[in-house]
Amino acid sequence: MHLALNEDQTQILDFIDSLTRPYATVPLHDTSFALTSDALDAELVEGGFLDVMAVEELGPVTAALVVERLARLPFAVEAAASSLVRPLIDPALPRPLCLVEEGQLRRPVRFLRPGATVVVVSKSGVRSFTAGQAQVRAAGDEVLYAYPVAYLTEVPGDARVHDVAADEILRAWRVALAAEAAGLLGAALQSVTTYVSERQQFGRPIATFQAIRHRLAEDQVATNGVYWMALRAAGSGDAGDAALAALHAQEAAKRVGYDYHQFLGAMGMTLEHPLHLWTYRLKFLTGELGGRGENALAAAAAIWG
């Protein structure tokens, strides 16, 4: 496994950093629970950043890098599914792309709105349809995820059937989940590190206390592990790697997210501080694809048959 980015990957990430600089901080006086930007989304599409997987010289690893970098933004961007899953189904599917497991209609769906493309994955196959007004129920204030979410009320009987294996879509979905979680964990770590370096107690920054430093070091190791496992899974195309990457991402999100909020005390639970924009998206991802239990079983099945 190559641990250094090539010239193309470095250049693409530099372009993304330049393009997203106006969106790298929370807008002044904005205390929204979830931040989105149609302008940012349009710029990413226009620049072709969500289609890099289709370029032979770039492929899925570069797509995973793009997803990870965009997940670091305080703005929630529908990039993971479009970048890593859509090319395997139909690159022409309209965005935003919403991934749904059959039988999970009670679970809120990220980025779901009328006009979105809903991809339903089941053991029997993969189907898609364009969500209509009657098929979308607003979530309102009943969910706390820092993503724009809604409920899918039904799957139409005339949904388009795709000639692609459901297992392959689940593999790519797990890679997308891990790559996005890596970015969210990285951004949350940076936010927390800044806070504990500035917040003083007993006349010195709390980051200088040994108990804080040891736990932050452990959290950084877990965060780095999610990043590298996501890239390995993207590069290998192996179902076992993908399941392990998703499992580790969900494990880390649960443990590390708890630490981050504890380090910030009550500040981490207020809308005035941006930490929730990453940790509450992580909270959603810990339940995706059946959660840690299902991904552990998927990893065991892929590795040991």
Q: Is residue 179 part of a domain?
A: yes
Q: Is residue 277 part of a domain?
A: yes
pLDDT score at 267: 66
Percentage of the chain exceeding pLDDT 70: 95
pLDDT score at 192: 86
pLDDT score at 12: 95
What is residue 158's three-state secondary structure?
A: coil
Top-ranked range on mean pLDDT: pick from 70-74, 143-147, 156-160, 259-263: 70-74
Distance CA 117, CA 162 (A): 13
The tens digit of pLDDT for each residue in 133-189 reads 999 998 877 678 889 999 999 999 899 999 999 999 999 999 999 999 999 999 999
Task: Specify the residue for token string 């770039």.
Answer: 58
DSSP percent split of the chain into helix, strand, coil, nearest 5: 60, 10, 30
Mean pLDDT, residues 73-78: 96
User: Residues 83, 35, 146, CA angle at the centre, nearest 5°?
Assistant: 85
Q: Is residue 156 part of a domain?
A: no
Residue 297 pairs in a beta bridge with none
Mean pLDDT, residues 108-134: 94
Q: Is residue 235 part of a domain?
A: yes
User: Residues 76, 146, 178, CA angle at the centre, nearest 5°?
Assistant: 60
Is pLDDT at 100 greater than 80 in this prediction? yes
Which pLDDT band, with edges at 50, 70 and 90, does 281 fall under?
very high
Q: Is residue 141 part of a domain?
A: no
Residue 14, sorted as left (phi over 0), alpha (psi -120 to 50) or beta, turns out to be alpha
Distance CA 253, CA 231 (A): 17
Q: Is residue 210 part of a domain?
A: yes
What is residue 286's three-state secondary structure?
A: coil
Q: Is residue 49 part of a domain?
A: no
CB atoms within 10 A of CB 304: 7
Top-ranked range on mean pLDDT: pick from 58-72, 95-109, 255-269: 58-72
Q: Is residue 279 part of a domain?
A: yes
Which range is least confidently modeled, 58-67, 148-157, 172-181, 237-246?
148-157
Tell me which residue of 159, 158, 155 sits closest to 135, measured CA to CA.
Answer: 155
Q: Any idea what the CATH number is for the domain that residue 270 is in?
A: 1.20.140.10
pLDDT score at 231: 97
Which pLDDT band, with edges at 50, 70 and 90, does 211 fall under?
confident
User: Residues 127, 117, 253, CA angle at the centre, nearest 5°?
Assistant: 95
Which pLDDT band, with edges at 50, 70 and 90, does 201 fall under?
confident
Is pLDDT at 1 greater than 60 in this prediction? no
Residue 121 near residue 102 (C-beta atoms within 8 A)? yes
Q: Which residue has the higher pLDDT, 248 or 215?
A: 248
Bridge pairing between strands 97-101 and 117-122:
parallel
Distance CA 84, CA 73 (A): 19
Q: Count the helices and strands in the chain (H runs, E runs).
A: 10, 9
User: Which amino acid is present at 174?
Assistant: R
Q: Structural domain of residue 239, as residue ranges? A: 166-304
Please state, rounded to an integer, the average pLDDT across all residues of the chain.
90
pLDDT score at 170: 96
Pull the structure tokens for residue 170.
């689940």
User: Which amino acid is present at 258?
Assistant: Y
The tens digit of pLDDT for each residue in 84-94 reads 999 999 999 99
C-alpha pair distances (Å), 142 with each of 107, 126, 138: 12, 29, 10
Question: Alpha carbon 299 to chain centroid distance?
Answer: 20
The tens digit of pLDDT for each residue in 220-236 reads 999 999 999 999 999 99
Peptide bond into 96 cis (omega under 30): yes
Which range is least confidently modeled, 95-99, 110-114, 130-134, 268-272?
268-272
The tens digit of pLDDT for each residue in 5-44 reads 889 999 999 999 999 999 998 876 666 788 999 999 999 9
The number of folded domains in the chain is 1
CB atoms within 10 A of CB 179: 35
Residue 194, sorted as left (phi over 0), alpha (psi -120 to 50) or beta, turns out to be alpha
Distance CA 170, CA 21 (A): 32
Percentage of the chain exceeding pLDDT 90: 69
Mean pLDDT, residues 118-123: 93
Which pLDDT band, with edges at 50, 70 and 90, does 66 fall under?
very high
Instruction: Identify each DSSP E strand in the chain by its residue range.
Output: 97-101, 109-110, 117-122, 125-130, 136-138, 149-152, 160-162, 200-201, 204-205
Residue 173 phi, psi (nearest 5) = -60, -40
